[in-house]
Chain A
Amino acid sequence: MHKKQIAITLGIMCLALTACIVIQLKTVSNSNTTVSQSLKENSLRDEVLKWKEKYDNVYVDLINSTDNLERARKQATQNDTTSMAKQQEITLNNMLLGLTEVTGPGLEITLADNNTGLNKDGSEVLDISSQIVHNDDLLQVINALNNAGAEAISINGQRVIQTSSITCEGNIIKINGQRISSPFKIKAIGSPGLLSGSLNMIGGYLYYMKEDGVNVETKQVESTTVEAYNGIISYKYIKLKK
């Protein structure tokens, strides 16, 4: 009896210990930290991870509250035509600002770095940089899309709105303050034929990128979903002119 008791207790303790160790291993490997030799670097990385976690939590809260707000608005305006019209106006404005997910026909473009170092005809490339997607390329493509009448554009899930900037940050590109990297998936809503033609025609921007050997793929689609802008639009300086 006594031995049985000891065995069961030890078993339960081993269970708790190994469960804790495995969970810890999983957490550490998931947060993909490489342990650095310097203590300061480690603590800084720790700090960043903690803030990121807090940000994610708050962001989930934000999404939930936006949903709640939407529901409350709907309920409040159910039996009132004037407020219903206002509600519709708010929805429309949010759509135009890029704060809601939108769908429609359009074009899906995938731009990816060519890492083979070979030209289209198999010869070695002189300037490897010409086969890499730069922030300028994305800017040019967006410009061409806007010129062709695109109504909503996103790159790798980042919606392009009126305050979006696309900058080069070393080997990554930053858009809306978020880091993205190759391959770039650009989704645009508009007339599929027009969008495709303006980029792929001889002399169009994608035509030149293909000539340079960048991996370019375009697809005209009947329906594509462009993600919502997931930041906060705030203005400090502009005012209405009286």
Chain B
Amino acid sequence: MILIAIVIGCILGAVIGIYAPMVPYTYSGYLAIAIIAALDSVFGGIAATLNKNFNLKIFVTGFFGNAILSILLTYLGQKLNVDIYLAAIVVFVGRMFNNLAIIRRYYLNVWENRNSKKTVNSNEKAQ
């Protein structure tokens, strides 16, 4: 159910994106930051699901809140002539790597457990 919704959402989003008008180049930087923030939330959500402490409210507010906040900070940075977006990229990408590491470790664990079970089973059979 959830998987189907995600796939349909992605396909519809791609179609809408193809037919949507283009963003002026001046604002494409803001959109890029928002995308990075949203991607970070998505990976965070996946990692939370694996740890079984996924909370929809936190996920949704993080998704939109982080995106909007990063846009606002980038805008502020441009006004103050400080490249705040660099800080946003460092933070979000750093967290993305963390979350990816959590996901990787989880699946590595699953894989190792299955392998050890298999060897135990084959040992039992041999005996």
Contacts and interface: CB of A to CB of B under 8 A. Distances in A.
A and B found bound together: yes
Interface of A: 3-28, 30-31, 46, 49-50, 53
Interface of B is mostly: helix
Interface string B6-48: 1011111110111010111110110110110011001000000
Contacts of A23: 17, 20, 22-23, 31
Interface residues of B, number: 33
Please list the 3 inter-chain residue pairs (A to B) with the smallest Cβ-Cβ separation, ordered nearest first: A22-B17, A18-B13, A14-B9
B40 to A, nearest CB: 11
B25 A31 contact: yes
A24 B67 CA distance: 15
B90 interface: no
B74 to A, nearest CB: 13
A145 B27 CA distance: 46
Contact of A13 (B14, B16, B23, B60): B60
A25 to B, nearest CB: 8
A15 B10 CA distance: 5
Nearest to B8: A11
A14 to B, nearest CB: 3
A10 B5 CA distance: 7
